[in-house]
Chains A and B, each alone.
Chain A
Amino acid sequence: MPAISSANVVDLITGGISFLLTLMVLSYLIGDNPVFLVAVYIFIGVAAGYAAAVAWHQVLDPRLIGPLLSGSLAERLLTIVPLVLGLLLLFKLSPRTSHLGTLSMAFLVGVGAAVAVGGAVMGTLFPQTRASMNALDLSGAGQYWLERLSEGVVMLVGTVTTLVYFHFGAKATASGPQRSKLVSVLSWVGQVFIAITFGVLFAGVFVAAMTALIERLNFIITFLSSL
């Protein structure tokens, strides 16, 4: 009988725990049950605990506590600002003292909004607009000009009709507000594009879930075969 190494023991224990947790999650097939809930609670608790540990070990300790205790004078002075702002955020826990954390929240929201808006404008809006306009640019397409043209037309039609679909303006008629026929047709085409997009998103989610299922079943087979 071969000797069992410590690594093998650890792998066996961790493999066993993973196996049990996998079965507990798969028990959802028979409906919502306590075993599944226990697995969910364990996952949430472990994730939160791990995130807290990471925040302490990789953010608070090296970026805040360390400079305060062993940093230079400049580092200490600079560290006081985030320390005060961070402490003020703790007052948000109580409704009576939550106003004390308004300054920190204002700083976070203001900076976050500025960064997000600036990045969206410069990183998404302008480049995507330019790319949409260049979709029908056949220069350099060569022999694939038809494919390039078709792709550009589809992109143009899809973009325009999708935007038309979200145009809710209508004229008042005797039978009630109605869209014009042109808008109705375009919005119907846009609705088709939106449906295809949602279908693709669902397919992507299903494919991702299918891959996770395959990986878990492969793990179970591997674990059981290793016993």
Chain B
Amino acid sequence: MAGVLCPMCGKSNPTELENCQFCDARLTPLSASTADASPDQGLPLGPAPTTSSDSSGDLPDWLSGLGKAASEDEEEVPDWLASLSGEEAGTSVPASAPAPEPGLNATGSLSAGPGGKDWMARLGSEPQSATPETTPQSGLQGKGESPDWLNQLKEKAIDSELAPLGDEGKAAGADIPDWLSNFGSTPGTPEAATGESLPEWLSDLEAKTGTESAASAPIFSSELPPSSSARDETPSWLSQFQADVNAAEEQEAKQEQFDAATQPPAKENGTGTLPDWLAGIKPASTPSDGTPALIATDGGTAPEEKDDAAFSMEIPDWLSKLKPEQAAENTPEGDTEPSTPENLEASELPSWVKAMRPVESVVDGAKATPQENAQVTEQSGPLAGLSGVLPVGPGMGSLRKPPVYSTILQVTDGQQRYADALERLISSETQPQTAKRAHLASNQLWRWVISGLLILAVVLPLITGISVTQASKLQPPEMVNAFTLIGNLPTNAPVLVVFDYDPALSAELETAAAPLMDHLMLQGPRLTLISTSPTGPALAERLLHDTSASPLVAGHNYQAGQQYVNLGYLAGGPSGVLYFAISPAKAAPFTLDGQQAWQLPPLQGIQKLSDFAAVIVLTDNADSGRVWIEQAGSTIGNTPILMVISAQVEPLILPYYDSGQIKGLVTGLAGGEAYGQTFVRPDAQTGLAQRYWNSFSVGILVAELLVLVGALWSAFTGWRARRDKSGEGV
């Protein structure tokens, strides 16, 4: 694609643009805008492009003379127009210029009549009416050599067509405004600058037409398209030849554009490749007079040139010798887009050369950053309208992508081993496992069978009254100590009884405590009842008065307020127990029915916990028993602590007996039965412990048998499973 390189940023722009589409810099000089377009538009007076002159140099003389014919066609202008040319070049157009032809009317530039103002105005607005088709002709016109027959034909046409104009041309020339009259004297006028390069045929034409009206003729002729009448008159062989010449011109133009793109812009801006007249007007028409020298230097140096300089330092000789011309030879002819250095780098550099490139050339973002910076256009100040002059932000260096680090985790062997172990552990969790067969029916059946056996073992002794087992002859030492302590209590001794058990285990505690309480109440003590459980006071009343709980204890018929005091519920847990141990009267001042407890006879003489003759704790909870031991142990003095506990807490309370913190212990039904066997009432009555003993013994025996059978069955099934598994393995 042909284009014009911007002198500021060095980028390619379409030829029809006057300003750079990237940096908005002016592409062509202000005073030479028309002359700059001459190579494409075929200005006859403009300096012919080098390619055109080169190509035309190969043409034969007779074909070069076609330029004169074409110039003769262009001489079909009114005399007033010729006078313009005369003012410019010192020649004059004949006053008898013929009327404009239809072909000229098509352009609208010569059909305005003698007045000439309208078409003059339109002429200025349609400077691009000259089509590229005129380029070959202009090229031909550039050469002043034409055959004689063509010169004669030109003279005849001038004589016959310009004669009717008469003095109108002069009148028209008189109507031309001053600014237009002075136009030809501007420094940018091609003729003024390159008058010596005029072709001969044009020089002859000027000589013939005189010096009067030829001032503006070259200008208008350069802007006017070739006469349609002249094209109509062109023979077919000439049209074909023109097409061939056009193709050659286009090819040469492409080659020229490629050369211009590959060469440094500084050389392009230099006068070496430009015509002399354009070189002469270039400095005067440069719009960037105020541009700082530094910017001009940067703008004049293309990025590709910098790359070349960088590559010249490291690339081998053979690669440095690779000229753009050589690269252009490899470019396909059909590729109309000029190759850029970036394309050459991306397509032809071998991999090892690519590896040698700097990071900016490898990382796209790093290379794109300067381009993005170049797009920033200054909005104010002397640099207004210029792009890429200043960096994006003050103090910011070149933006680069951060270095890329490897994302591979570096682990040691130990860490890898741990990771593998964790992976195996997780994988084992996610693997599906075969669900074990559920024998719900069998379990339910076994539940009923076991329940039936236990109920039967319990009920039968209760119903029949048959003594299956003998009375327990075991006398645990802790029970014996409790019995001894109770037996040694003096008459009417104050005893504190703590009921810290729940109704769920009241049967066991009542059965275990009944012999001890019966033995105690036979001593006639003053009882003080208290509980840290909300249900404790009610259970205490039940034990003392309910015959179903304990007929022996209820038989004593202890009276509240007279023989015993129920202090009720002691709130606060361990803190309450500690408070009661320190100050019993303040911790539990009232009885269960709201009376002042410490004024009642059972509590007479009691000020502190050590004033009690004994403390008996009935509990089914190890924590509750431990709280009384821990909190009351430091204030109880020599007062013994006895405990009646459930069988389920015996392993946790027994160590306190071994340590001497509690002096006696009765555990569960077995302990109560043993206590009952030890303590024999005068009337030989027995309590519930003895009544329950048979059922208890049978029930425990059945349970032990069931446990044994279950253990054997489990062992058998396990052995069978292992045997089956070993058989499958074999």
Interface set, chain B 434-469, CB cutoff 8 A to A: 444, 447-448, 451, 454-455, 458-459, 462-463
Give CA–CA (A147, B508) in the complex, Å: 31
Residue ID in chain B nearest A60 by CB atoms:
B571
Give CA–CA (A47, B539) in the complex, Å: 13
Q: Which B residues lie within 8 Å of A116 (CB)?
A: 574
Residue ID in chain B nearest A116 by CB atoms:
B574
A95-103, A160-168, A179-187, A200-208 - interface stretch: A200-208
A115 engages B574 (CB within 8 Å): yes
Q: Which B residues lie within 8 Å of A128 (CB)?
A: 655-656, 659
A55 engages B649 (CB within 8 Å): no
B15-23, B350-358, B372-380, B629-637 - interface stretch: B629-637
A214-B444 CB under 8 A given contacts A112-B575, A208-B648: no
**Chain B interface, number of residues (Cβ within 8 angstroms):** 63
Interface set, chain A 80-109, CB cutoff 8 A to B: none
Interface residues as binary, A183-227 with B (CB distance below 8 Å gives 1, 0 otherwise): 000000000000001001101111110111111111101100000
For residue A224, give the distance in angstroms from its CB to the closest CB of chain B: 10
B696's contact among A119, A214, A219, A222, by CB below 8 Å, is which? A214
For residue A101, give the distance in angstroms from its CB to the closest CB of chain B: 18
Give CA–CA (A219, B507) in the complex, Å: 11
A213 engages B668 (CB within 8 Å): no
For residue A158, give the distance in angstroms from its CB to the closest CB of chain B: 11
- A130 contacts chain B at the CB level, 8 A cutoff: yes
Give CA–CA (A67, B650) in the complex, Å: 42
Interface residues as binary, B485-524 with A (CB distance below 8 Å gives 1, 0 otherwise): 0000000000000000001110110010000000000000
Give CA–CA (A200, B622) in the complex, Å: 14
Q: Which A residues lie within 8 Å of B451 (CB)?
A: 29
A201-B648 CB under 8 A given contacts A50-B535, A207-B670: yes
- B193 contacts chain A at the CB level, 8 A cutoff: no
Give CA–CA (A55, B570) in the complex, Å: 10
Q: Which B residues lie within 8 Å of A211 (CB)?
A: 507-508, 511, 647, 668-669, 692, 696
Q: Which B residues lie within 8 Å of A38 (CB)?
A: none
Residue ID in chain A nearest B447 by CB atoms:
A29
A208 engages B459 (CB within 8 Å): no
Give CA–CA (A122, B574) in the complex, Å: 14
A123 engages B574 (CB within 8 Å): no
Give CA–CA (A59, B626) in the complex, Å: 24
Give CA–CA (A211, B620) in the complex, Å: 13
Q: Which A residues lie within 8 Å of B575 (CB)?
A: 111-112, 115
A217 engages B458 (CB within 8 Å): yes
- A169 contacts chain B at the CB level, 8 A cutoff: no
Q: Which B residues lie within 8 Å of A54 (CB)?
A: 534-535, 537, 568-569
Give CA–CA (A51, B532) in the complex, Å: 12
- B703 contacts chain A at the CB level, 8 A cutoff: yes
A207's contact among B447, B571, B634, B668, by CB below 8 Å, is which? B668
- A31 contacts chain B at the CB level, 8 A cutoff: yes
B574 engages A119 (CB within 8 Å): yes
- B135 contacts chain A at the CB level, 8 A cutoff: no
**Chain A interface, number of residues (Cβ within 8 angstroms):** 47
- A131 contacts chain B at the CB level, 8 A cutoff: yes
A58's contact among B503, B505, B568, B668, by CB below 8 Å, is which? B568
A131 engages B592 (CB within 8 Å): no
Interface residues as binary, A11-31 with B (CB distance below 8 Å gives 1, 0 otherwise): 000000000000000000111
Give CA–CA (A127, B662) in the complex, Å: 12
A59-B692 CB under 8 A given contacts A54-B534, A204-B648, A206-B703: no
- A71 contacts chain B at the CB level, 8 A cutoff: no
A200-B699 CB under 8 A given contacts A123-B631, A212-B508: no
B647 engages A204 (CB within 8 Å): yes
Which of A127, A215, A216 has the largest number of chain B CB atoms within 10 A? Answer: A215
Residue ID in chain B nearest A51 by CB atoms:
B534
B630 engages A123 (CB within 8 Å): yes
A217's contact among B455, B569, B650, by CB below 8 Å, is which? B455
- A77 contacts chain B at the CB level, 8 A cutoff: no
B700 engages A210 (CB within 8 Å): yes
- B54 contacts chain A at the CB level, 8 A cutoff: no
B659's contact among A51, A131, A216, A217, by CB below 8 Å, is which? A131
For residue A74, give the distance in angstroms from its CB to the closest CB of chain B: 14
B571 engages A204 (CB within 8 Å): no
**Pairs of residues from A and B, 10 with the lowest C-beta to C-beta distance, nearest first:** A123-B630, A215-B507, A119-B630, A131-B659, A204-B648, A211-B508, A207-B647, A51-B534, A204-B647, A54-B534
List 16 A–B pairs whose Cβ atoms lie within 8 Å, in order of A's numbering.
Answer: A31-B444, A54-B535, A54-B569, A58-B592, A115-B575, A124-B626, A128-B656, A135-B658, A201-B651, A207-B668, A210-B699, A213-B455, A214-B458, A214-B699, A215-B508, A219-B548
Additional 16 contacts, C-beta under 8 A, given A59-B569, A208-B505, A214-B462: A29-B447, A51-B534, A58-B592, A119-B574, A123-B661, A124-B630, A127-B660, A130-B659, A201-B651, A204-B650, A208-B646, A210-B699, A211-B507, A213-B454, A216-B507, A218-B462
